């Protein structure tokens, strides 16, 4: 590509090695989660939420289990101010939930922010100012010391107004655009703010290190986090928070490595909504923890309902391939994938296995409100016999013999290929019923009789060419006797009769299901299925179905 030379690395490595995080295998406990959907997420919407919509969304976040929620920038607009007052005055904030508000380091903004918070039970006041080289040189045109003065004066004003305002307040500071800031300067400005606030065990503060713009690979961000965490003043009384964005598409990786590096708190949004490519996606982060056996302390057991509310409130769509929540993320179209999943599920049943280890599925879809039927096995021209057979078994109670599954698989794939579409479970069931079950043309089975204590000689009533007649046969058992009568009548020869039967447990009433496969002289196997309340009758119907399918390709001699 052209112009590559104009892109330089805009981040700064720590001045000393900070790689201890690499020794950790995975995140072992959930961080403190802070949703910024109602501030960072809302400001990125084409049409920001109305007051009533924000109230509904706030309740959604509470129901999910967020204990910290950034509700807005109350000095920025009357809607945000009114929303905050409504939450406080109508007592809509649970006692165990802390709200958070954002403010710039300007006195009139800080004053209005505390005015909006009057009476809040628990609130975080989030102070920020930009610190990066680009912001200092191009936007503010200030020296490092002048940028520090902005932060320090804001920190002092927070202390002043908090002391004068009714409520319980905690302070937070963010060196905005931290990732484009020299690490020694970022550390200096954070420590200067901490020196003003002087946190204690009973009055901890939050230092939030945002990847306001993602500028580096995730391991660089982790090293930056570790360096700052190792050198903060009052470290034991500081909560180290992360606020990754997703400009390079690695926001989740930034957050996970940042947690390994000492981060204790995450600010993000549901499904990654936010400016540009968005904030870090808390749904993905939380369920990644869950997939490692770590309780995320957020409840996504009804993820599809959460997604519906999110899409309605934001007018954004969750992508079909979005981790965990996307429509297709558990779907297997590939035949080999479907076969592995079906066998994995069968193995779990046989072993009564507690641990989840099914091929191709990182978590059990059921645990987040998804379903196996329709969510996991999806049928198109790429599908295989295993998935098609699994779908029929799970939804309709058919347990096809292995070779019959293969035969039916080709039927379904050919239909899907011809129609150029995915086939829904009901369509597959209909194809199976029409292709194999209780087929009555050209020969319809009506009834059979055996003599008392005689399972070897039979009389079978059939309808053929519109005429009802009776045929006789002998064999080494009931089905074989009927089989011999039918072969004699039709002048057909086939062998290697394959037979399987079972009770059909799904459906409105209990039925017996039988499958019969017969091999013609040219080696082609024809399959039929019979369904009846009586097991013997279902077997006979399966035999007639297979023979009727064979007559489409093999001439019969009716006499």
CATH of the domain at 532: 3.30.160.270
- Dist CA 286 CA 31 (whole Å): 9
Quickly list DSSP for 403-460.
HHHHHHHHHHHHHHHHHTSPBPHHHHHHHHHHHHBS--SSEEEEEEEE-TT-SSEEEE
Same domain membership, residue 111 and residue 74: yes
Can you give the pLDDT at residue 203?
A: 96
Name the nearest CA neighbour of 175 among 140, 126, 218.
126
* Residue after which a domain boundary falls, among 391, 423, 455: 423
Can you give the pLDDT at residue 8?
A: 85
CATH of the domain at 231: 3.20.20.70
Phi, psi of 226 (to 5 degrees): -60, -40
Phi-psi region of 466 (alpha: psi -120 to 50; beta: other; left: phi over 0): left
Same domain membership, residue 531 and residue 453: yes
Q: Which helix (H) or strand (E) holds 73?
A: none
Same domain membership, residue 355 and residue 303: no
User: In this structure, how many other beta carbons lie within 10 angstroms of the beta carbon of residue 249?
Assistant: 10
Same domain membership, residue 75 and residue 188: yes
Within a domain: residue 8? no
pTM above 0.85, yes or no: no
* Number of DSSP helices (H) and strands (E) in the chain, helices first: 18, 14
Same domain membership, residue 300 and residue 379: no
Same domain membership, residue 267 and residue 348: no
- Dist CA 241 CA 244 (whole Å): 10
- Dist CA 403 CA 84 (whole Å): 65
Gyration radius of the chain's alpha carbons: 34
The encoded tokens of residue 268 equal 């993000």
Structure-token match 């009506």, residue found:
446
Instruction: Find the domain containing 120 and state its range.
Output: 15-314
Can you give the pLDDT at residue 559?
A: 44
Within a domain: residue 463? yes
C-beta separation of 214 from 244 below 8 A: yes
What are the angstrom distances between the C-alpha of 407 and each of 399, 524, 527, 539? 14, 11, 8, 19
Structure-token match 């996970």, residue found:
256
Same domain membership, residue 450 and residue 415: no
Same domain membership, residue 309 and residue 343: no
Within a domain: residue 431? no
Please state at what angle helix 78-89 crosses helix 51-64, rounded to 10 degrees.
50
**Pairing state between β 457-464 and 467-474:** antiparallel
Same domain membership, residue 341 and residue 304: no
- Dist CA 85 CA 96 (whole Å): 18
Q: Hey, is 343 helix, strand or coil?
A: helix
For the chain, the first-to-last Cα distance in angstroms comes to 79
User: In this structure, how many other beta carbons lie within 10 angstroms of the beta carbon of residue 19?
Assistant: 13
Same domain membership, residue 517 and residue 454: yes
The encoded tokens of residue 49 equal 């939420």
Within a domain: residue 510? yes
Q: What is the pLDDT of residues 236-288, one digit of tens each?
A: 999 999 999 999 999 999 999 999 999 999 999 999 999 999 999 999 999 99
Within a domain: residue 435? no
Within a domain: residue 6? no
Name the nearest CA neighbour of 157 among 113, 123, 201.
113
Domain total of the chain: 3
C-beta separation of 36 from 70 below 8 A: yes
Q: Report the largest interatomic distance among the alpha carbons of the chain, rounded to a whole angstrom.
A: 108
Centroid of chain to Cα 236: 36
* Residue after which a domain boundary falls, among 423, 458, 474: 423
The encoded tokens of residue 145 equal 């010391």
C-beta separation of 537 from 544 below 8 A: no
Same domain membership, residue 201 and residue 89: yes
- Dist CA 521 CA 96 (whole Å): 77
C-beta separation of 108 from 130 below 8 A: no
* 236 Cβ neighbours under 8 A, 6+ residues apart: 201
Q: Which residues pair with 211 in a beta bridge?
A: 244
Q: What is the pLDDT of residues 322-361, one digit of tens each?
A: 999 999 898 877 778 878 888 888 899 888 888 999 998 9
Within a domain: residue 112? yes
* 360 Cβ neighbours under 8 A, 6+ residues apart: 332, 337, 340, 341
Same domain membership, residue 99 and residue 243: yes
Within a domain: residue 405? yes
Average pLDDT across each block of 10 residues of the chain; the chain has 559 residues. List them in order. Answer: 90 93 95 97 95 96 98 92 96 97 96 96 97 94 96 98 95 97 98 98 97 96 98 98 97 98 98 96 98 97 97 96 93 78 87 90 94 70 71 88 91 88 88 96 92 84 91 91 91 89 77 94 94 94 95 73
- Dist CA 259 CA 226 (whole Å): 9
C-beta separation of 425 from 412 below 8 A: no
């Amino acid at each position: 590509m052209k112009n590559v030379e104009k892109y330089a690395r805009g981040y700064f490595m720590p001045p000393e090695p900070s790689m201890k995080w690499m020794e950790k295998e995975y995140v072992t406990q959930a961080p403190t989660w802070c949703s910024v959907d109602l501030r960072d997420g809302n400001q990125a919407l084409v049409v920001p939420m109305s007051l009533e919509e924000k109230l509904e969304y706030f309740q959604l976040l509470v129901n999910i289990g967020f204990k910290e929620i950034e509700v807005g920038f109350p000095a920025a607009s009357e809607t945000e101010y009114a929303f905050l007052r409504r939450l406080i005055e109508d007592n809509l904030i649970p006692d165990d939930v802390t709200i958070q508000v954002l403010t710039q380091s300007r006195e009139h903004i800080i004053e209005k922010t505390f005015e909006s918070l009057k009476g809040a039970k628990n609130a975080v006041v989030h102070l920020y100012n930009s610190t990066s080289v680009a912001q200092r040189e191009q936007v503010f045109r200030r020296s490092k010391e002048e940028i520090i003065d902005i932060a320090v004066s804001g920190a002092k004003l927070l202390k002043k107004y908090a002391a004068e305002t009714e409520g319980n307040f905690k302070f937070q500071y963010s060196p905005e655009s931290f990732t484009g800031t020299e690490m020694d300067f970022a550390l200096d400005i954070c420590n200067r703010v901490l020196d003003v606030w002087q946190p204690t065990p009973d009055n901890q503060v939050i230092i939030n290190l945002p990847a306001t713009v993602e500028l580096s690979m995730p391991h660089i961000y982790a090293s930056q986090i570790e360096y700052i965490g190792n050198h903060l003043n009052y470290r034991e009384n500081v909560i180290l928070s992360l606020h990754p964005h997703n400009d390079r598409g690695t926001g989740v990786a930034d957050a996970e490595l940042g947690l390994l590096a000492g981060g204790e708190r995450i600010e993000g949004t549901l499904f990654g909504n936010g400016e540009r490519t968005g904030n870090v996606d808390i749904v993905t982060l939380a369920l990644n923890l869950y997939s490692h056996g770590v309780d995320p302390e957020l409840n996504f057991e009804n993820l599809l309902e959460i997604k519906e509310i999110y899409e309605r409130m934001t007018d954004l769509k969750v992508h079909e391939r979005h981790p965990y929540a996307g429509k297709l993320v558990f779907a297997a179209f590939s035949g080999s994938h479907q076969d592995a999943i079906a066998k994995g599920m069968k193995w779990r049943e046989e072993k009564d296995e507690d641990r989840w280890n099914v091929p191709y599925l990182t978590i059990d879809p059921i645990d987040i409100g998804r379903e196996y039927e329709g969510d996991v096995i999806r049928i198109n021209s790429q599908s295989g016999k295993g998935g098609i057979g699994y779908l029929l078994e799970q939804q309709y109670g058919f347990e096809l013999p292995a070779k019959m599954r293969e035969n039916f698989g080709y039927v379904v794939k050919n239909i899907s290929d011809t129609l150029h579409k995915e086939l829904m479970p009901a369509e597959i069931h209909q194809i199976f019923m029409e292709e194999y079950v209780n087929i009555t043309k050209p020969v319809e089975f009506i009834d059979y009789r055996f003599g008392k204590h005689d399972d070897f000689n039979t009389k079978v009533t059939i309808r053929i060419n519109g005429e009802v007649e009776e045929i006789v046969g002998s064999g080494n058992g009931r089905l074989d006797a009927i089989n011999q009568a039918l072969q004699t009548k039709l002048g057909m020869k086939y062998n290697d009769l394959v037979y399987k039967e079972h009770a059909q447990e799904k459906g409105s009433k209990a039925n017996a299901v039988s499958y019969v496969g017969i091999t013609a002289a040219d080696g082609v196997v024809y399959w039929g299925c019979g369904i009846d309340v009586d097991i013997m009758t279902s077997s006979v119907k399966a035999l007639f179905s297979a023979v009727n399918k064979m007559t489409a390709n093999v001439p019969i001699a009716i006499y």
